[in-house]
Amino acid sequence: MDLRLKECRFIDAFSVRIFVIYHFGHRSAWVGRLNTTPKPFYWERPGKTLSTIIDGKAFSANLRSEIARKIALLKQNHSLTPGLAVVLVGEDPASQVYVRSKGKQTTEAGMNSYEHKLSAETSQEDLLQLIDQLNSDPDVHGILVQLPLPEHIDESLVINSVAAEKDVDGFHLSNVGKLATGAEGIVPCTPLGSMMMLKHHLGDLSGKKAIVVGRSNIVGKPMAALLLKESCTVTIAHSRTRDLPAECREADIVIAAVGRPEMVKGDWIKPGATVIDVGINRIEKDDGGTRLVGDVEFETASAVAGAITPVPGGVGPMTIACLLHNTLQQACRINGIEVPE
């Protein structure tokens, strides 16, 4: 699968230059500049390295519009409209927000969106029955069961009850196996989005040293498999890793997927390395409000890294865009059609 976008333009949302000045110490200042040209933007610190900010928001907007263009071609040439069914069990507020956003972006791309909202008391049997119906519904090409599920439901059983050819999360064991063996299959959305940005920024990854901090099934392990597929030399770190800062300092590529706010510091980063921050953590501010931060301490890491994804606005927006990408892939595969160019 070609993970590279043919074209990715990093465009300032307001089509003007925005200057953000961060006062640092008494006189020196950080200046973040968002270019209007199709380039990433840079954090500039006089006399220090320039760190490219990998703009996931712009990247995902570009990917989504590419997908919408391909869907229009599918409709025109094959009378096929991909359909994505999202199943939400329970009333978890964060999950509700994700599901709403997925539905909106699905229809904006020109696909059909089917939402199934079930109460937290739904039995496992009823959920499996719904999945069965969706598996045999010809209008549904992708099925996503929003995680986490209530405790009385066996998550793994549910994930593997979704037909492998309608799995758009890449969590089905058949797709996990394909990724592990380097075969073509559906790749989990967050690692896929991270890899798209990495390849767009770095080009050939072959021979680069990469570290993935985190070994979860949904991010860390598939990310490591993708890096290996690109011929990186991959280290997978986790909570038992000894001297994690030293391991990170060896890496040309650092992927942080830990779930610990700002754990990875600037002095863990090799100068010029590319940093992909997958983490999304909400922390309290001094004024009692909250803000989102990643697993990387952006301020210190961006002074050392060659390129870095911000939080928010980095990996996050790519996840839903990749969900749409996977749904398009599955709709074409099910119907024996090449994905339009």
**Whole-number Å distance between alpha carbons of 183 and 286:** 49
Q: How far is the CB of 316 from ligand NDP (least distance, A)?
A: 4
Q: Judging by DSSP bridges, how do beta strands 18-23 and 29-34 pair with one another?
A: antiparallel
Coil, helix or strand at residue 261: coil
Q: Which is nearer to ligand NDP, 82 or 214 (CB)?
A: 214
Q: How far is the CB of 320 from ligand NDP (least distance, A)?
A: 8
**C-alpha distances in Å from residue 305, one per residue of 43, 209, 211:** 11, 15, 14
In this structure, which amino acid lies at residue 200? Answer: H
Q: Which is nearer to ligand NDP, 224 or 305 (CB)?
A: 224
Residues in Cβ contact with 323 at an 8 Å cutoff, skipping those fewer than 6 apart: 84, 102, 142, 144, 168, 169, 189
Helix, strand, coil proportions of the chain in percent (round to 5)? 35, 20, 45
Q: How far is the CB of 171 from ligand NDP (least distance, A)?
A: 12
Q: How far is the CB of 100 from ligand NDP (least distance, A)?
A: 15
92 is an active site residue:
no
For ligand NDP, the binding residues (CB under 6 A) are 190, 213-216, 218-220, 237-241, 244, 257-260, 278-281, 295, 315-316, 319
Q: Which residue among 55, 169, 252, 295 is the active-site one?
A: 169
Q: Which helix (H) or strand (E) holds 163?
A: none
Q: What are phi and psi of 314, to 5 degrees?
A: -110, -105
Coil, helix or strand at residue 110: coil
Q: Which is nearer to ligand NDP, 114 or 268 (CB)?
A: 268
Q: Which residue is nearest to ligand NDP (CB)?
A: 216
Residues in Cβ contact with 242 at an 8 Å cutoff, skipping those fewer than 6 apart: none
Q: Which residue among 55, 70, 105, 146 is the active-site one?
A: 146
Q: Which is nearer to ligand NDP, 39 or 238 (CB)?
A: 238
Q: Which is nearer to ligand NDP, 213 or 324 (CB)?
A: 213
Q: How far is the CB of 259 from ligand NDP (least distance, A)?
A: 4
Q: How far is the CB of 300 from ligand NDP (least distance, A)?
A: 17
102 is an active site residue:
yes
Q: Which residue among 102, 166, 178, 221 is the active-site one?
A: 102
**C-alpha distances in Å from residue 61, one per residue of 12, 317, 319:** 12, 8, 12
Q: Which is nearer to ligand NDP, 142 or 214 (CB)?
A: 214
Q: Which is nearer to ligand NDP, 26 or 240 (CB)?
A: 240
Q: Where are the beta strands (DSSP E) in 294-340?
A: 307-308
Coil, helix or strand at residue 68: helix
**Whole-number Å distance between alpha carbons of 64 and 82:** 14
- Are the C-beta atoms of 239 and 259 separated by less than 8 Å? no
167 is an active site residue:
no
Q: How far is the CB of 340 from ligand NDP (least distance, A)?
A: 26
**Whole-number Å distance between alpha carbons of 28 and 162:** 55
Active-site residue set: 102, 146, 169
